[in-house]
Amino acid sequence: MPKAKYVRESHTVMTEMVFPNDTNPLSNLMGGNLMRFMDIAGAICAQKHSNRIVVTASVDNVSFVNPIPLGNVVTLEARITRAFNTSMEVVVDVFSENIPAGVKNKTNQAFLTFVAVDQSGRPIEVSEVIPETEEEKIQYEKALHRRQLRLLMAGRLNPTDTEELKKTFFEHSASI
C-alpha cells in the first residue's frame, strides 16, 4: 500500500472568472460549466493524493444555491475526505466573489468520487488519508456513510449489508 498522506498535501485551489460564453441568458454561470470546474478541481486534488491518473466515478447531489453572475471570480477548494481501496472521495466547495464590490459568498458544495487507474485504465490502490483538523475528522467519518449510500443507489450494496444502513432504513420504520 502507498504511504498515507495528510489532507493538506492534496488541497487544491482553482480560480476562474465568469465570461460571457460561460453564462446563461440571465448572465449567470451555467450549471454545466460550474460542474465542469468542480470536476477539474476534484480531479487535480485526487491526482495529487494518488499520484495517478484518475477518472470520475460519481458526483453526489449538486445544489445551485446562489447564482454566480457574469464577471464574478469563482474559487473552488477541493480536499480529499477519505480514500478507500482504489477510490477517493473529494469535497469541492465553491465561492463566488464580486471583487469590485468586496462581496464573497459560498455558492455550492459537492462530493465527487474518483478512482485511480494505471496506464491501462485498471483501478490501482491509493494511499490512506490522515485527517488532522476537527472538520477533516468529521468529513472522514461521514465519508463512509456517503460511500455506502452511493453504493446502495448504484445497486452494488444491499441495505442490510451494513449496520449503518440497517439503522437508517429499517430500525426507524419498525418503530412507526
How many other C-beta atoms lie within 10 A of the C-beta of residue 15?
12
Indicate the number of domains in the chain: 1
**What's the mean per-residue pLDDT of the chain?**
90
Q: Is 109 a domain residue?
A: yes
Mean pLDDT within 48-58: 96
Higher pLDDT, 20 or 166: 20
The reply to whether 62 falls in a domain is: yes
Separation CA 71–CA 20 (nearest Å): 8
Domain-embedded: residue 168: no
List all residues 6 or more positions away from 115 whose beta carbon is below 8 Å from its beta carbon: 54, 55, 57, 86, 87, 88, 123
Q: What is the pTM of this model?
A: 0.86
pLDDT at residue 169 greater than cutoff 70: no
**Residue 176: pLDDT band with limits 50, 70, 90:** very low
The answer to whether residue 175 sits within a structural domain is no
Is 144 within a domain? Answer: no
Whether 117 is in a domain gets the answer yes
Q: Which residues are bridge partners to 58 per DSSP?
A: 113
What band does 93 get if pLDDT is binned at 50, 70 and 90?
A: very high
- Order of strands, edge to edge, in the sheet holding 12-17? 12-17, 73-83, 87-98, 103-117, 53-59
Tell me the residue range of the domain where 76 lies: 5-131
CATH of the domain at 106: 3.10.129.10
For residue 152, the model assigns a pLDDT of 77
Grid coordinates representing 150 are 452511493
**Residue 173 is assigned to a structural domain of this protein:** no
Q: What distance lies between CA 143 and its chain's CA centroid?
A: 10
**What residues have CB less than 8 Å from 5, skipping those under 6 apart?**
49, 80, 127, 128, 129, 130
Q: Is 66 contained in some domain?
A: yes
Query: Checking phi first, is residue 132 left (phi over 0); if not, alpha (psi -120 to 50) or beta?
Result: alpha
